[in-house]
Structure 1
Amino acid sequence: MKRLIKNKKFRLAFKISLLIGMVLLVLDQNNAFRKRKTLSEARLLMDTIVRFDLCDDGHTKQQTKNAFDEAWNRFKDLENKLNVYDKKSEVSKINDSHPEQVLISNDTYGLIESAIDYHDKTNGAFNICVGPLIRMWKEANKNNMIPSELDYLKIKDAIDIKNISLIEGDRAVLKDEFAKIDLGGIAKGYAVDEAVKIFKQHGFTSFLIDAGGDVYASGFNCVGKPWRIGIRDPFNRSNIIDVVALTDSAVTTSGNYERFYQIDDNKYSHIFDPHNLMPQKNVLSATVIAPTAQEADVFSTALCVLGEDEGLKIIERYDNKHAAFMIISSDKGTLEKRLSKHYKKFR
């Protein structure tokens, strides 16, 4: 199995990822490798481990290299444009330029446009204008102090999705001085979908892309069966709580147990409810299956905010290519599993 591990930092990150694992775990890899040659590469991008597994379709080494290189270059290009922590990125330029308009690429423009549309589709649960909340809670975590009422009053108007405007197909502007956008809930999914297009254009039909738990499974695995993806138990990472079988589908899990802020002895979700401006509670994890990684990425975040009843209703508006599996912490402290009506077809 080939991996591109270029430096000590990456090797350490890669080892940690293997030891800790992602929320989603690709299963049956050993059997797949025995039957049909698998070509694999992994790199550290978008603050996570990104991995490409291709089933050998008889391509030459140069053809395979060209496909890998183009996919990696596309990922890197999107990281450069969308990384909110990179001062040179287009997202940062938007955040730092109020009230001036900023010239942006088709990628950034299209993603913001899609995010505004998803805001409506999720009843406001998916909101890229939560940037001020994320910054406020990062500072709170650093200082080990809950944000004050004054902190909230300062930013509450900045969270409105109407604070981001798109202009004439190539520019964006923020209307509120405290407004900040964050595309973290959609960028990885979009990057995965872009890589999918590239591999298909190069003639690959059976492959799997995993960007830190944003997974797309194309065709069948290397023994001709659907790709099997395990969903980890939120309380015991060594256990698999469920398994889905995917072909030409994406799956993503979001939850408040993977990433969180810790202040004193209390943990707070990194996913915020844009309606009350607080870290979401009760939903431990939401796994969403969808035709694209972008959809799965967005809806898994939105379901954590909406909760099981409203969240599953939204998923069930769509066709049988969309499904969800949620783990809920009840008021009694027990765990409950909730499935959308089409979820069982993926087991």
Structure 2
Amino acid sequence: MSNYWLSEFRALNTDIKACFYCTEYQFTKLIPEVQDWFDHVENKFSRFLPNSELTSLNGSNGKPVLVSAAMLEVIELAEYYKKKTNGIFNPLILQALESAGYDRSYELFKHDCQLTKTPSMPESEHISIDSSMKTIRLWPGQKLDLGGIVKGWSVDRISVWLKDKWHINRGMINAGGDLIVWSDSSDIEPWKIEIRNPLNPKQGTERLTLYRGAIATSSVLGRQWKTSTGQMHHLIDPRTMLPSQSDIVQCTVIGSNTTDCEIAAKVVCILGSVEGPKWLMDQYPEVQSICYTSAGDKQLMGNPCLLK
């Protein structure tokens, strides 16, 4: 008999929730595979694991490297978004993150960080990709951080697998705020998701009702740390190679694709409350968004029917 089943576990340096409407037999069989998928993604793309494929690629010293199909797919996707965002999304910001103090897994932060010299963008922003040979060459000064895009991509990929292989017709995957929901029928209750005001969590909660769709949130408030020169966060502006100083502190984007939503939310946060909404509506006119500014203001864009 079909019912709702929920699993929660830790991967990709975040909390992951998986909820499916299925039989108990299906659930007990597929959940280990879902966990294995996210563990596989972390082992391949984590910049904190010394033996990950990404760590090996970042240490390749300008030599072409034969990469896995998954690595090639994500790097090609990152290059696509870099062009689409005019460079506001840029995977080549790892040295800036490390220089700002984010040089270890976030849960290991215990003391104030000492800053190193602020890096400049590498002389070449072009990543050499040979799709036919499945090779990547990172030029001197280039180091990749793929954390955000990989999180959205991994959610999209596993949801397709669950629908196609396991025929899970109603489900939800939430990887630290990057989530996707789906349902094959509008005769049952929609998924209900809450987006809290980050500056006042007890007030101003937005309630979304979705039968199917994706949501991603980007925020400068969740991962902050103190340094010798002040407060830092993980959202790097490639134009300055420093943590973003825009007035938007959190942006949530609602669309059909988790990776699109992840990138769009990050770009809006970096661009700010004037340029960000203009860019979003130009590039993704079909999405909705909820933004909060440092002054406490809220901006809603897109279809108001989603916001209940």
Q: Which residue of 2 aligns with 1:216?
A: 180
Pairwise CA distance, 1:68: 2.2
Instruction: Give the 5 Å matches for 1:234-249.
Output: 234-239=198-203, 241-249=205-213
1:161 Cα shift? Answer: 3.1
Distance 2:271 2:87 in 1: 9
- The percent of aligned pairs where both chains have the same amino acid is 24
Aligned to 2:3: 37
Counterpart contact for 1:302–1:311, Cα < 8 Å:
yes
SS of residue in 2 equivalent to 1:237: coil
Partner of 1:31 in structure 2?
Answer: none
Task: Tell me how large the CA RMSD over aligned residues is.
Answer: 2.4
Deviations 1:44-102 (A, max 9, x none): 1111111111123xx4x433333323322222221111111112111111101111111
Q: 1:297 aligns with which of 247, 259, 262?
A: 262
Counterpart Cα distance in 2 of 1:221 and 1:270: 39
How far the C-alpha of 1:313 sits from its partner, in A, is 2.0
Instruction: Structure 1: give runs of 5+ residues left out of the alignment.
Output: 1-35
Aligned position for 1:286: 251
**How has the CA–CA distance of structure 1 residues 319 and 115 changed in structure 2, closer, same or farther, with 3 Å as cutoff?**
closer
TM-score, length of structure 2 as denominator length: 0.88
In 2, are the aligned partners of 1:220 and 1:227 still within 8 Å (CA)? no
Structure 2 CA distance for partners of 1:263 and 1:103, relative to 1, 3 Å: same
Secondary structure (helix, strand or coil) at the match of 1:79 reads: helix
Deviation at 1:288, TM superposition (A): 0.8
Q: Give the conservation status (yes or no) of the 8 Å contact 2:216–2:262.
A: yes
8 Å Cα contact 2:100-2:242 kept in structure 1: no
Q: Secondary structure at the match of 1:161?
A: coil
**Alpha-carbon displacement from aligned partner over 1:192-230 (angstroms, at most 9, x marks no partner):** 111101210211111111111111111179992221111
Tell me, in whole angstroms, the C-alpha distance in 1 between the residues paired with 2:102 and 2:77. Answer: 29
Structure 1 Cα separation of the partners of residues 48 and 185 of structure 2: 36
2:70 is matched with: 107
Are positions 1:137 and 2:113 aligned together?
Answer: no
For 1:135, what is the secondary structure of its paired residue? helix
Q: Please give the secondary structure, in 1, of the residue aligned with 2:240.
A: coil
Paired residues in the alignment total 297
CA apart distance, 1:104: 0.9
| Among 156, 162, 165, the residue aligned to 2:128 | 165
Check if 1:309 corresponds to 2:279: no
Higher helix share: 1
- Residues in 2 aligned to 1:257 and 1:212: alpha-carbon distance in whole angstroms: 14
- Which AA in structure 1 matches 2:265? S
More off after superposition, 308-317 vs 44-53:
308-317
Superposed, 1:271-282 pairs within 5 Å as 271-281=235-245, 282=247
C-alpha contact (below 8 Å) 2:115/2:228 kept by paired residues: no
Matched, 1:322 2:273: no
Match of 1:344 among 298, 304, 308: 304
User: Which of 321, 324, 335 matches 2:296?
Assistant: 335
Cα–Cα, structure 1 residues 323 and 183, in superposed 2: closer, same or farther, change >3 Å? same
Using the size of structure 1 for normalisation, the TM-score is: 0.79
Once the two structures are TM-superposed, the CA of residue 255 in structure 1 deviates from its matched residue by 0.8
Change beyond 3 A, Cα 1:92–1:235? same
User: How many Å apart are 1:185 and its aligned residue?
Assistant: 1.6
